Each structure stands twice: as structure tokens, then as C-alpha cells.
Amino acid sequence: PDLDLGELLKYLKRKRHLAKLYGQGTTNFKASKHEIKKSIINVPRDAIQLGFQHLDGAKVYGNEVEMGLAIKTSNIPRQNLFDVTKLWDLKNPKAAF
């Protein structure tokens, strides 16, 4: 069956101890890296407010500005969140840092 994100978030809010097992993945949902898309801010922000603590992104997704705004507008202290990214410069891993 299809999983409805809204229903999952409501369920996890009722079962807060389970929320830490889930992460909010992100990807590039926009045509241009130069636009700021409100929906990319809203979904992770709402997930954070419902108890998600793990955000998964990557520079290549082009949504780092939105992820930062989601964290900032969630009113949850940054130190309570795990914001994970990926390294893409496989030819020079040290430069990826």
C-alpha cells in the first residue's frame, strides 16, 4: 500500500519513542538550484517539529539553503538534530571536506 507521509508523521507523533528511528531524506525537487522552493522547506521543518532528528541531504541535491531554512524555522535547537550529507568528490576525498 502507498504510504501517506502525513499519516506516518501523525503516527510517529503519537509514538515519539519511534521517531528517532526514522530520518527525513531530501532530494532535488526543483528545476533550478537558484530558486528557493517553499515545499522543500516545509516538509523537513514539519518533520523536525514532529520529532524527527535525522535529516539526510547532499550538496548535489541543490537544497542546502532550504534545509538550513527548515532547521532555522523549526524552532528546534540545531544541536538536537543530525544533519547528514554526502561526499561527492571521489577523486579527491580530502577536498570534499
Catalytic residue chosen out of the listed positions 61, 62, 66, 81 = 61
Please name which of 57, 71, 51, 63 lies closest in space to residue 8, comparing C-alpha atoms: 51
Sequence-ordered strand ranges (E) for 3-97: 23-25, 54-56, 82-84
Which residues in 7-45 are b (16+ Cβ under 10 Å) and which e?
Answer: eebeebeeeeeebeeeebebeeebeeeeeebeebbebbb
The reply to whether 11 belongs to the active site is no
Active site residues: 61
